[in-house]
A = this chain, B = another copy of it.
Amino acid sequence: MLESVRGRKSSREKILDAAAELVSEIGSGRLTLEAVAERAGLSKGGLLYNFPTKEALLQGMIQRLIDQVSAEKEALRGQTASGRNLEARLCTSALFKMCSGKTKDIATGMLAATSENPRLLDPLRQVIRDTLDTLRATSEDLDAALLAWLAVEGLSSYEMHDISPFSDEDRERIRKAIERLLSKGIAE
């Protein structure tokens, strides 16, 4: 699935980047193949060689979103000390990184898919169900785990729609509060 070659990005990657940026800038519903092609530095024909339909492009955006979060989570697993609510900590950290880092635009794939055809979110639905199952099965404090997860999703949603009122310091404060919630739980 990883198609980046050393040095140069593949056309597919350039196209997905271009599409993600455009969704942020002009809105998911205004995403046109022509605009994506121009931004990615090729023609409509070239784009349609890589993604034969617009739906295929949107599917690609969703799949990259899923792959990115999954990869981030697994990378964190190696660096994270085991302990209370481990899975929830991995999951929230990975999502948090996604919505604050430079891969932030990738989340807009969700908006693009929702816009065109809500069923394109099916793969994401499955991931979310699996995440809930995992949290249920492994969390020492499920209430805290659910709230932490949802809070990161809320933040992510705000960033995705570009309506977040939070500064970098705010986000850091939120990150720490989530960490505290997961390790200490809700007070009695």
Is A153 at the interface (CB under 8 A from chain B)? yes
Copies in the complex: 2
Q: Is the interface of A mostly helix, strand, loop or mixed?
A: helix
Question: Using Cβ atoms and an 8 Å threshold, which residues of chain B touch A26?
Answer: 118
Partner of A147, one of B24, B128, B147, B184: B147
Q: CA A124 – CA B157 in complex, angstroms?
A: 13
Q: How extensive is the interface on chain A, given as a class? A: 35 or more
* Interchain CB contact under 8 A, B153 and A157: yes
- Residues of A105-123 whose CB lies within 8 A of B: 110-111, 114-118, 121
Partner of A114, one of B111, B117, B121, B131: B111
Q: CA A111 – CA B156 in complex, angstroms?
A: 15
Q: Which residue of B lies closest to A174 (CB)?
A: B146
The segment from A9-17, A67-75, A159-167 found at the interface with B is A159-167
Partner of A115, one of B111, B180, B187: B111
Is A181 at the interface (CB under 8 A from chain B)? yes
Question: Using Cβ atoms and an 8 Å threshold, which residues of chain B touch A149?
Answer: 154
Indicate whether A114 sits within 8 Å of B187 (C-beta atoms), given known contacts A150-B151, A150-B174, A154-B149: no
Question: Using Cβ atoms and an 8 Å threshold, which residues of chain B touch A177?
Answer: 143-144, 146-147, 186
Is A42 at the interface (CB under 8 A from chain B)? no
User: Which positions in A face B, CB cutoff 8 Å?
Assistant: 24, 26-30, 110-111, 114-118, 121, 124-125, 128-129, 131-132, 143-144, 146-158, 161-166, 173-174, 177-178, 180-181, 184-188
